[in-house]
Amino acid sequence: MKHNIFISFKLIVERKRQTIVALLGVAIGVAAFIVMTSLMRGFQTYFIEQALNINGHIKLKVEENYDDFRILRKAFTQKNNLFVVIGSKPKEKKYKISNFKEIVRKYSKDRRFIGISPHLIGTGVVVYGTKKKNASLVGIFPGLEDKTVSFKNYLRKGKIRQIESNKNNIIIGIKLAKDLGIKQAGKKVNIVSPTGGVYTLRIIDFLDTGITEIDKTRIYMHIKKLQTILQKPNEVNEIVFKIVNPEEAPTLARRISAETGYKAESWQEAFRNFLSLFKMQNYITYIIVFSILIVSAFGIFNIIMMTVLEKKRDIAILKAMGYENLDITVIFALQGLIIGLAGGILGNILGYYILEWLETVRFEVEGIIRAKGFILDRDPVYHILGFLFALLFSFISAFYPSFRASKLYPVDIFRSGG
């Protein structure tokens, strides 16, 4: 075996320029895989973690179901008719969870649920001086909210408990506050309800989740205060659940829906558009990286194939000396594996230092999420996978030339003068 390795190295060294090009191709492919995967996974993981931390794993709410055919049913007894209702006005209906206390009490006993928090969700207009902005109003029980979502982690001052002591206190999204021109806590704003009522409330803290849509629209307050503003005494229209295993959310959501009669939505269902987008991003990343690796594999194939054609007489001599077909295959296959091994190691080193550099780059990112630079997932698994891909592609590209070399017959080569 030592002789086979020595011969393989000898053949590689003889074609230095081509070997270096192939090795760099493998290294670039491995580095590209590590860097692009870290970037994509970092962004995706950050978004999902932030969204789940502030929105919970399951949401129970009243499903809005507009029935445009209710007018036809009143006018006609037959099911089949030729009339169509256009522009039906939605019927007035109170969208509330009437038995929310029983639901909270029931599922609090289940060990699979970590926290349960009732919400009242509404809309309003927040006014500060001459500036007006639409806002999503969220009424919470501060004690339950802190157990259900990682609310305290996203507050600038951590004053969630002050909502309990003074129900005129509110927490406002950092982007919404910036749009209103508010830079510090303690300022008072007016909330205009959908019915026209005006309520003066005091900002005690800012919410900074890093998700633009949340930070730009939400205002949190005590649920009792929001019930007064929206004129919905003792009403709740949403319950948020946090569970031990987030992957069980779809199964538990179906169970909750069946047992309560309300619509339970898992986080996978709520973010299915984003998850589909993330899956497409991953496909594009893998296609690009594999394309680079395939090009480098053709380089390895070309090197070994040319070596086989040029070294026919040497192969014949080796066989005449007693080398078997397997030995010849191993000699040429080892060339591909050596290039893949060296390229994989070099690609890992290159990928590591590129990620190190990317972590030092600072710039403002504002879109779906906000960040001050690249969000990276530095999982060592990506380095291992990149290295294994390098070996796999190198072995595949080297296999056919190696197999062909083993099938050459010494007699035919000597007769032809090859």
Task: Specify whether 287 is located in the same domain as 390.
Answer: yes
pTM of the model: 0.72
Q: Look at residues 102, 144, 94, 92 and name the one whose alpha carbon lies nearest to residue 119.
A: 144
Segments of 208-343 assigned E as strands: 218-222, 238-243, 263-266
Residue 400 has a pLDDT of: 75
Torsion angle of alpha carbons 321, 322, 325, 327, nearest 10°? -90
Tokens of 298: 């053709």
Task: Give the domain extent around 236.
Answer: 93-261
Total number of domains in the chain: 2
Summarised one tens digit per residue, pLDDT across range 140-159 is: 988 888 788 877 788 888 77
Give φ, ψ of 111 to 5 degrees. -70, -15
Question: For the ranges 106-115, 214-223, 255-264, 325-334, which has the lowest average pLDDT?
Answer: 325-334
pLDDT average, residue stretch 31-39: 90
Q: Residue 210 and residue 366: Cα distance in Å, rounded?
A: 9
Tokens of 93: 């209906």
Question: For the ranges 45-54, 97-106, 399-408, which has the lowest average pLDDT?
Answer: 399-408
**pLDDT of 324 above 80:** no
Task: Specify whether 251 is located in the same domain as 120.
Answer: yes
pLDDT average, residue stretch 99-113: 90
Give the list of residues 6+ apart from residue 138 with CB closer than 8 angstroms, or none.
119, 120, 121, 218, 219, 220, 221, 226
pLDDT tier at 122 (50, 70, 90 boundaries)?
Answer: very high
Residue 59 lies in a domain: no
Winning range, highest mean pLDDT, from 44-58, 195-209, 292-306: 195-209
Task: Specify whether 101 is located in the same domain as 241.
Answer: yes
Question: For the ranges 43-47, 214-218, 292-296, which has the lowest average pLDDT?
Answer: 292-296
Task: Specify whether 283 is located in the same domain as 247.
Answer: no
**pLDDT of 314 above 70:** no
Residue 335 lies in a domain: yes
Task: Specify whether 10 is located in the same domain as 47.
Answer: yes
Residue 74 has a pLDDT of: 60
Task: Specify whether 256 is located in the same domain as 291.
Answer: no
CB neighbour class for 344 (10 Å; exposed up to 12, middle 13-18, buried from 19) = buried
Task: Specify whether 249 is located in the same domain as 352.
Answer: no
Residue 92 has a pLDDT of: 47
pLDDT tier at 380 (50, 70, 90 boundaries)?
Answer: very high
Task: Specify whether 19 is located in the same domain as 102.
Answer: no
Task: Specify whether 207 is located in the same domain as 312.
Answer: no
Query: Among the three residues 216, 233, 261, which one is the final residue of a domain in this structure?
Result: 261
